[in-house]
Amino acid sequence: MLPAAVRKEYTIAVLPGDGIGPEVTAVALRVLRAVAKAHNFGLVLIEYAVGGEALDRYDEPLPKETLRACKAADAVLLGAIGGPRWDHETGARRCETALLGLRKSLDVYANLRPVQVFEGLADRSPLGMDRVSGADILLVRELTGGIYFGTPRGQKAVGGLRTGTNTMTYREDEVARIARTAFTWARRRRSRVTSVDKANVLEVSQLWRTVVAEVHAAEFPELALDHLYVDNAAMQLILRPRAFDVILTGNLFGDILSDLAATLPGSLGLLPSASVGASVGLFEPVHGSAPDLAGQGRANPMGAVLSAAMMLESLGEGVAAQRIRNGVAACLQEGVATADLGGTASTSTVGEAIIAFTAGLTTAKSQ
Ligand code: NAD
Ligand code: IPM
Ligand code: MN
């Protein structure tokens, strides 16, 4: 007789953070608990402090206990960090350094930011339905290098004048590994990679372009590759969003282009992300702590919920992940949405609707 199937159980370090972070994370956790029950796997969800909340309680934005728990977990789910209350902080006390430290410590060098214009949504885009409907882009952002981490950095007096310095630097192995990530995803999608850089001006981008082309020629010659300068890429993204499949770019350009790409579906609140590379993945919405919305129950929780779906996918629970995505799509089709998408629903009402649609849907239906 075969042994009874062992029920899988995943330990998730949950970092709600600041501002709307705890509000959208609470919805993501409710959705996760519902699908875990329906799909018969276990989730151990333990919350830890990060960002401004951690600074207030433990006097550091990334407490050792939080980092230790993240490294030991199967995955990390994060809400958002930062806000005006802590904006006067500098150096290692800045909230944002917690996120950078976490990404670096987990070695999650590949940040995947999918941007899709869901059906029933296209009329929400400020760019107009004709232009955006059907757009389906995967932005692959290098996350643990570039100007975010390069040295020298800092502020000092030079010739009696205050001078600020940051350094954009990439080694060939850092470029090659993120290029492989982008090409591998393109193979599963529409076989096109657009690499975005500033090679007309920056030496770091000239190396980037050379290495991307070498990896392409040696390992992925069957895929289409083109290169765009970042300024032109920003314009093309808005003018011809359907022309893009996978966008491969560095840390800073990826940060900027992903918020820009949020204008395609019409709200930053919709965009999820997965940061992967080593053993433990970090999953967080693309948006920040939205101080203008915090505490009002008006934040869109869909980016957080879809980040939870990306987490389940990476843990091997693809059917449950698809069920969540279908639930969000159904919600949008029925017009249950927060104000950023023109709706009137609260954060928790959207959460309840996602759970209801998720429960009512059959599994593995592709949208
Ligand atoms: P933000 O992403 O917080 O907000 C930008 C705009 O988008 C605001 O108008 C906001 O209301 C809107 N918005 C964001 N999320 C939304 C949601 N879920 N639903 C509806 N509308 C939403 O960016 P910001 O205002 O530039 O930054 C605020 C703080 O967040 C800063 O301290 C910044 O460093 C931090 N931040 C953190 C992260 C993160 O934790 N991953 C990401 C970006 C910014
Ligand atoms: C993001 C954020 C972060 C970044 C900040 C908060 C450090 O803007 O995840 O897009 O710049 O990477
Ligand atoms: Mn950003």
Condensed to tens digits (0 to 9), the pLDDT of residues 168-214 reads: 999 999 999 999 999 999 999 999 999 999 999 999 999 999 999 99
Which atom from ligand 2 is nearest to the alpha carbon of 284?
9
Distance 29 CA to ligand 2 centre (A): 22
The pLDDT of residue 126: 82
How does residue 363 score in pLDDT terms, banded at 50, 70 and 90?
very low
Residue with CA closest to ligand 1 atom 44: 288
How does residue 130 score in pLDDT terms, banded at 50, 70 and 90?
confident
Q: Which of 298, 255, 297 is nearest to 275 (CA)?
A: 255
Q: Among 18, 87, 94, 99, which is best to mutate for testing ligand 2, by the most ligand atoms less than 8 A from CB?
A: 99
The pLDDT of residue 7: 86
How does residue 166 score in pLDDT terms, banded at 50, 70 and 90?
very high
Distance 285 CA to ligand 3 centre (A): 10
Please give the structure tokens belonging to residue 95: 């909230």
Which atom from ligand 1 is nearest to the alpha carbon of 51?
40
Q: Among 23, 256, 268, which is best to mutate for testing ligand 1, by the most ligand atoms less than 8 A from CB?
A: 268
Catalytic residues: 148, 198, 231, 255, 259
Rounded CA gap, 314 and 115, in Å? 18
Residue with CA closest to ligand 2 atom 6: 96
Residue 274 C-beta-side C-alpha neighbours within 13 Å: 23
Q: Is the CB of 80 under 6 A from ligand 1?
A: yes
Q: Among 251, 287, 305, which is best to mutate for testing ligand 1, by the most ligand atoms less than 8 A from CB?
A: 287
How does residue 3 score in pLDDT terms, banded at 50, 70 and 90?
low
How does residue 360 score in pLDDT terms, banded at 50, 70 and 90?
confident
- 17, pLDDT greater than 70: yes
Share of the chain above pLDDT 90, in %: 91
Residue with CA closest to ligand 1 atom 30: 288
Q: Is the CB of 47 under 6 A from ligand 1?
A: no
Distance 142 CA to ligand 3 centre (A): 13
Rounded CA gap, 172 and 195, in Å? 15
Q: Is the CB of 28 under 6 A from ligand 1?
A: no
pTM for this structure?
Answer: 0.96
Rounded mean pLDDT of 218-246?
A: 98
The pLDDT of residue 122: 58
Give the least confident one: 48-57, 115-124, 269-278. Answer: 115-124
Cβ atoms within 10 Å, residue 18: 27
Rounded mean pLDDT of 265-289?
A: 97
**Which of the ligands is closest to the CA of residue 262?**
1
Q: Is the CB of 18 under 6 A from ligand 2?
A: no
The pLDDT of residue 123: 72
Rounded CA gap, 254 and 170, in Å? 15
How does residue 163 score in pLDDT terms, banded at 50, 70 and 90?
very high
Contact 241, 266 (CB under 8 A): no
- 216, pLDDT greater than 50: yes
Cβ atoms within 10 Å, residue 218: 9
Q: Is the CB of 99 under 6 A from ligand 2?
A: yes
- In Å, how far from its chain's centre is CA 249? 14
Rounded CA gap, 138 and 274, in Å? 11
Residue with CA closest to ligand 2 atom 4: 255
The pLDDT of residue 118: 77
How does residue 289 score in pLDDT terms, banded at 50, 70 and 90?
very high
Distance 288 CA to ligand 1 centre (A): 3
How does residue 2 score in pLDDT terms, banded at 50, 70 and 90?
low
Q: What is the pLDDT of residues 76-109, one digit of tens each?
A: 999 999 999 999 999 999 999 999 999 999 999 9
Higher model confidence: residue 222 or residue 121? Answer: 222
The pLDDT of residue 274: 98
In the predicted model, what is the mean pLDDT of the chain?
Answer: 95
Residues with CB under 5 A from ligand 3 (ion): 255
Please give the structure tokens belonging to residue 228: 């765009």
DSSP string, 113-130: EEEE--TTTGGG-TT-HH
Amino acid (1-letter code) at residue 149: F
Hey, what domains does the chain have and what are their CATH numbers?
7-135+266-367 (3.40.718.10), 143-263 (3.40.50)
Distance 257 CA to ligand 3 centre (A): 9
For 275, the enclosing helix (H) or strand (E) is: strand 274-276
Contact 12, 280 (CB under 8 A): no
Residue with CA closest to ligand 2 atom 9: 286
- 284, pLDDT greater than 80: yes
- In Å, how far from its chain's centre is CA 172? 24
- 366, pLDDT greater than 90: no
